[in-house]
Amino acid sequence: MRGIVIVGAGQAGAALAAKLRSLGHTGPITMIGEEPVPPYQRPPLSKAYLLGEMELERLYLRAPSFWEEQSVTLRLGARVEAIDTAARTVTLEDGEIIAFDDLALTTGSRPRRLPAAIGGDLGRVFTVRTLADVDRMAPEFRAGARALIVGGGYIGLEAAAVAAKLGLDVTLIEAAPRILQRVAAPETSDYFRKLHTAHGVTVREGIGLDRLVGKDGNVSAAILADGTDLAADLVIVGIGIQPNAELAEAAGIALENGIRTDAFGRTSAPHVWAAGDCASFPHAGGRIRLESVGNAIDQAEIVAVNILGADTRYEAKPWFWSDQYDVKLQIAGLNTGYDRIVTRKGDGDVVSFWYYRGDTLLAIDAMNDARAYMIGKRLIEMGKSPDPAVVADASADLKPLLKA
Ligand code: FAD
C-alpha cells in the first residue's frame, strides 16, 4: 500500500489529501504542516477575518474531525527540514524520519519583507500571510491609529480597506507608477484608486519607501523616497511573495520560479510532486506560477490523480477575486500580452474590463458584476472571443454569446 507524505498543510495540501481519499486511495497519508492549526483558507485573513466579521472555525477548510475520519495523519507544528529523494524519507526538525512512496510538496509561499537595515524588523511592522500574523496585527487596528500600507497589490489594498473601515488613518504607498500595475490594466487601477480615495485613504503612487524609523523598538514613522516624513503607528507590508522552494532546492530538486514541475505535477525527482503557490508549471508555451486558491486546489487534485497512476495534464483555468469595501472584484483568465481593453459599464459601481489581444479575449476583471464574470470566464475557457462591440453595449444580453 503506497504511503504518501504531503509537506505543507495549506490549501493545496488539504485538497490533495482529500482528493486521494475520494479517489479511493486507502494507504497511509501523512500531512505535515509547520503552522500549529489545521488547514485553513487564507483569503479572509485580509478581508472578513481581519475586520472581525468571521469566526476562526469558519476559516478551517474542513471540520477538524474530517482528517481523523479520513485517516489522514496530521502532523501540525512540525517543520520538514530535509528530503532524501534516494532513500525516500523526510526529516522533521526534531530529527524524526518519515518514509514515503510518493511525496507531494505543497509548501506555499511567504511574503517578501522589508530589510532590517531599513527598519523591516521593527515592532508593529506586519505582513499578512498566516493566522498568527493577523492575530498579532488585529489588536493594533484601532480607530484613529495611523497605518501605512507599503505596496498597492491586492493584499495591500484589502488591508487598506479593512483599516479604513475600522476608522484608521490610512496612507498607501506604491513604488510603481500605479497601484495593481503588475496584475491589472490602468482602468482597474483607476477604479480602485477612486474607491479607496472616496473612503479616505491617501493613495500615493510612484513613491518608494526610504526607511522606517522606530521608537522603543516599534515603528513610529516612515521616510519616503521624496523625503516625506510620515508618522505611523503600524505598517503593513504587501510587496509580493516568494515561493517556499528552499527545501526542494537543498534536496537537489530543480527550481525555476519555484519548484519546477512538468504538466503532470512531477518534479525533477522521481516520486516527488509539487502543487500550489510553490510550483511552476508549463503553460501556453511558457511556464507560470500562480498564487491563487483556484490554482492550489485544481493543481493539487491533478497531482492526486497522477500519483494514483493517471497521466492527466494540468490545464490551468485561472480565476481570482478580491473584496474591498462593498466591491467584489472577480477575475478570470490571464491578461498577459493584452493590447486593448473593452469596457462594459453597468449602473453605479458596476463595470467590467475585458482584455483582448487582437480579436482574442484573454481575461476579464469584473467589479460587482457576477454575471459578466461568469459569462466571461466561460467564454475564455471555451476559447470563444465575443465581438467587442457586443461586450461594450451594456444593454446587450451576453448569455447568447455562450451558444454562438
Ligand atoms: P499555503 O496555503 O500557504 O500552504 C502552505 C503551507 O505549507 C503553510 O502552512 C506553510 O507553513 C507550510 N510549510 C511550508 N514549508 C514547510 C515545511 N518545510 N514543513 C512543513 N510545513 C511547511 N487567493 C485567491 O484566489 N483569492 C483571494 O482573494 C486571495 N486572498 C488572499 C489573501 C491573503 C491574506 C493571502 C495570504 C493569500 C490570498 N490568496 C488568495 C492566495 C491563496 O491563499 C494562496 O494562493 C493559497 O493559500 C496557496 O495554497 P498553498 O497550499 O500553495 O500554500
Summarize pLDDT for 185-205 with one digit per residue, the tens.
Answer: 999 999 999 999 999 999 999
Residue 318 lies in a domain: no
The runs of H, that is alpha helices, within 78-230 are 131-137, 154-165, 186-198
Q: Judge if 356 and 272 occupy the same domain.
A: no
Q: What is the pTM of this model?
A: 0.97
Say yes or no to pLDDT of 146 above 80: yes
In a domain, 314, yes or no: no
Residues 266, 164 share a domain? no
CATH number for 297: 3.50.50.60
Task: Choose the final residue of a domain: 192, 213, 237.
Answer: 237
291 within ligand 1 shell (Cβ under 6 A):
yes
In terms of domains, do 142 and 286 share one? Answer: no
Q: Reduced to 3 states, what is the DSSP secondary structure of residue 210?
A: strand
| 281 has a pLDDT exceeding 80 | yes
Residue 284's SS3 state is: coil
Residue 346 domain flag: yes
Q: Is the dihedral of CA 304, 307, 310, 313 positive or negative?
A: positive
- Total structural domains in the chain? 3
DSSP-based three-state secondary structure for 68 = helix
**150-176: average pLDDT:** 98
* pLDDT over 90 at 159, yes or no: yes
124 and 233 in a single domain? The answer is: yes
Query: Which of 113, 89, 93 lies closest to 103, judged by CA?
Result: 89
Could you tell me the pLDDT band of residue 71, with boundaries at 50, 70 and 90?
Answer: very high
Side-chain half-sphere CA neighbours of 320 within 13 A: 18
Q: Please, are residues 323 and 44 in contact by the beta-carbon 8 Å criterion?
A: no
Q: What percent of the chain has pLDDT over 70?
A: 100
**Same structural domain, 103 and 26:** yes
392 lies in some domain: yes
> Residue 222 domain-assigned?
yes
| 276 CA → ligand 1 middle, Å | 8
From the CB of 155, is ligand 1 less than 6 Å away? yes
Asked whether the predicted pLDDT for residue 145 surpasses 80, the reply is yes
Counting beta carbons within 10 angstroms of the beta carbon of residue 238, is it exposed (0 to 12), middle (13 to 18) or buried (19 or more)? buried
Categorize the per-residue pLDDT at 318 as very low, low, confident or very high, splitting at 50, 70 and 90: very high
Over residues 344-395, the pLDDT tens digits come to: 999 999 999 999 999 999 999 999 999 999 999 999 999 999 999 999 999 9
Does residue 346 sit in the same domain as residue 389? yes
CA separation for the pair 325, 158 (Å, rounded)? 8
Please state, in angstroms and rounded to a whole number, the distance separating the CA atoms of residues 86 and 17: 23
The verdict on 16 and 70 lying in the same domain is yes
- Residues with Cβ within 8 Å of residue 310, at least 6 apart in sequence: none
Average pLDDT, the chain: 97
* Whether residue 362 sits in one domain with residue 216: no
Same domain, 151 and 233: yes
Q: Which atom of ligand 1 is nearest to the CA of 8?
A: 7
| Exposed / middle / buried, residue 311 (Cβ in 10 Å: 0-12, 13-18, 19+) | exposed
User: Where do the DSSP E strands lie in 175-295?
Assistant: 202-205, 209-215, 218-224, 229-231, 234-237, 241-243, 259-260, 272-274, 279-283, 286-288
The reported pLDDT for the residue numbered 64 is 87
- For the chain, the farthest-separated pair of C-alpha atoms sits apart, in whole angstroms, at 66
Q: Does the residue 233 lie in any domain?
A: yes
With H, G, I as helix, E, B as strand and everything else as coil, classify residue 51: helix
Dihedral pair phi/psi, residue 64, rounded to 5°:
-50, -30
The reported pLDDT for the residue numbered 358 is 97
CA–CA dist 7, 181 (Å, integer) = 33
Q: What is the pLDDT of residue 170?
A: 98
How many angstroms separate the alpha carbon of residue 323 from the centre of ligand 1?
18
Check whether residue 191 and residue 265 sit in a common domain.
no
pLDDT band at 82 (very low <50, low <70, confident <90, very high): very high
What pLDDT digit, counting tens, does each position of 33-54 carry?
999 999 999 999 999 999 999 9
| Centroid of ligand 1 to alpha carbon of 246 (angstroms) | 16
Q: What is the pLDDT of residue 289?
A: 98
> Which contiguous run of DSSP H or E holds residue 104?
strand 102-105
Domain end position, chosen among 237, 259, 281: 237
Closest Cα to atom 30, ligand 1: which residue? Answer: 43
Answer whether residue 2 shows pLDDT above 90: no
Rounded distance between C-alpha atoms, residue 367 and residue 109, angstroms: 27
Q: Which helix (H) or strand (E) covers residue 362, if one does?
A: strand 360-367
User: Does residue 315 sit within a domain?
Assistant: no
CATH number for the domain that contains residue 364: 3.30.390.30
Same domain, 232 and 142: yes
- Is there a single domain that holds both residue 341 and residue 359? yes
CA–centroid distance, 18 to ligand 1, in Å, is 17
240 lines ligand 1 (CB under 6 A): no
Rounded to whole angstroms, how far apart are CA atoms 281 and 287? 5
Q: Is residue 46 within 6 Å of ligand 1 at its C-beta? A: yes
Query: Domain range for residue 233?
Result: 113-237
